[in-house]
């Protein structure tokens, strides 16, 4: 889970009846981040500042939310919580919290009139800070030994579905995975050099895809996605998608490097979702680096790709998927 990265906190708000929710990832101060959108129908907030050419290179929190564009309001509650804690980008008139948000479309699976809002974002933020992770469903993220965190139909993954391409969508959810790559030198050098630190790369992904999850177990080409005859637009839920997620590492990476990590994460999506990045998916990933350990950039990209692939595929092994 992303909380395997020291200093990273996660909280959820979940509405099981309405089948929606949000997930807040609170990052340590000084975390550098960038991201990339590859799907054709994104719903995002503050994504433009993640471009390496933009001035601000620090992000305080990342929000994954249901509710489509309505759900982006959750970020306001997180901003308020960070401001109350004195967090944010330093300006001449005070600190301004930097919160990036990504939303998926889940309005058609439960009660679409119930959408995550600012108050729910603040509640998820408070749960993250207080360590009160929302334990709604069974299952924990793969590969970690930090505090237990539920996955599946929780937080932003509550109303997520997959395989809408076939016309027979199935429940999906929030998946996670962590990879560890031994120890490496600390981020400082010279007389202040830190001792070796374990390199950690973790991904948390809300999978709400037009395509289906390829769990990697097939020993042959799984072939093209099964698709019924085309009907009217959106007759099979084709406009109700978007896979969103965050990759976090304790490596020291600049903003450009974080963008490359996000791109590698999208390669991981393409390995685990069949198909991915369609015009009706708003697939978006943020990559964040907390800066505690030196790491080879190419190694990091491989780890980011693998973490995202495993996070998505972990959902194929959860009871939330059913048949």
Question: Yes or no: is domain 2-321 CATH 3.60.70.12?
Answer: yes
Mean pLDDT of the chain: 86
List, for residues 169-213, the tens digit of each pLDDT value: 889 999 999 999 876 666 665 555 566 889 999 999 999 999 889
Give pLDDT, residue 168.
Answer: 79
List Cβ neighbours of 6 (8 Å cut-off, separation of 6 or more). 28, 200, 250, 290, 292
* Least confident range of 187-191, 292-296, 302-306: 187-191
List Cβ neighbours of 188 (8 Å cut-off, separation of 6 or more). 194
- Cα angle 46, 51, 57 (rounded to 5 degrees) comes to 80
List, for residues 57-108, the tens digit of each pLDDT value: 999 999 999 999 999 999 999 999 999 999 999 999 999 999 999 999 999 9
List, for residues 125-166, the tens digit of each pLDDT value: 999 999 865 534 333 444 443 444 557 899 999 999 998 887
Phi/psi of residue 147, each to 5°? -60, 140
Q: Residue 306 is encoded by which pair of tokens?
A: 């693998």
């Amino acid at each position: 889970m992303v909380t395997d990265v020291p200093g990273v906190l996660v909280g959820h708000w979940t509405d099981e009846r309405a089948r929606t929710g949000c997930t807040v990832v609170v990052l340590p101060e000084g975390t550098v981040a960038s991201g990339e959108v590859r799907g054709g129908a994104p719903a995002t907030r503050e994504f433009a500042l993640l471009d390496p050419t933009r001035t601000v290179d620090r992000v305080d929190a990342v929000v994954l939310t249901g509710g489509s564009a309505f759900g982006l309001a959750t970020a306001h509650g997180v901003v308020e919580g960070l401001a109350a804690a004195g967090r944010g980008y330093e300006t001449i008139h005070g600190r301004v919290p930097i919160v990036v948000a990504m939303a998926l479309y889940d309005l058609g699976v439960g009660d679409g009139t119930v959408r995550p809002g600012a108050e729910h974002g603040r509640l998820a933020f408070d749960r993250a800070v207080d360590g009160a992770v929302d334990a709604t469903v069974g299952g924990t993220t793969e590969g970690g030994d930090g505090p237990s965190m539920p996955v599946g139909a929780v937080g932003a993954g509550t109303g997520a579905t997959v395989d809408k391409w076939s016309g027979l969508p199935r429940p999906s959810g929030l998946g996670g995975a962590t990879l560890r790559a031994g120890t490496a030198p600390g981020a400082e050098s010279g007389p202040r050099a830190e001792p070796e630190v374990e390199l950690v790369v973790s991904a948390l992904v809300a999978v709400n895809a037009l395509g289906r999850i390829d769990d990697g177990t097939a020993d042959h080409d799984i072939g093209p996605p099964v698709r019924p005859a085309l009907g009217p637009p959106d007759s099979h839920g084709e406009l109700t998608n978007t896979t969103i997620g965050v990759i976090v590492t304790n490596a020291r990476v600049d903003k450009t490097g974080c963008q490359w990590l996000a791109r590698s994460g999208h390669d991981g999506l393409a390995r685990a979702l069949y198909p991915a990045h369609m015009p009706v998916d708003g697939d978006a990933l943020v990559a964040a680096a907390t800066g505690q350990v030196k790491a080879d950039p190419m190694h990091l990209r491989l780890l980011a790709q693998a973490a995202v692939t495993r996070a998505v595929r972990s959902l194929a092994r959860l009871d939330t998927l059913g048949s």
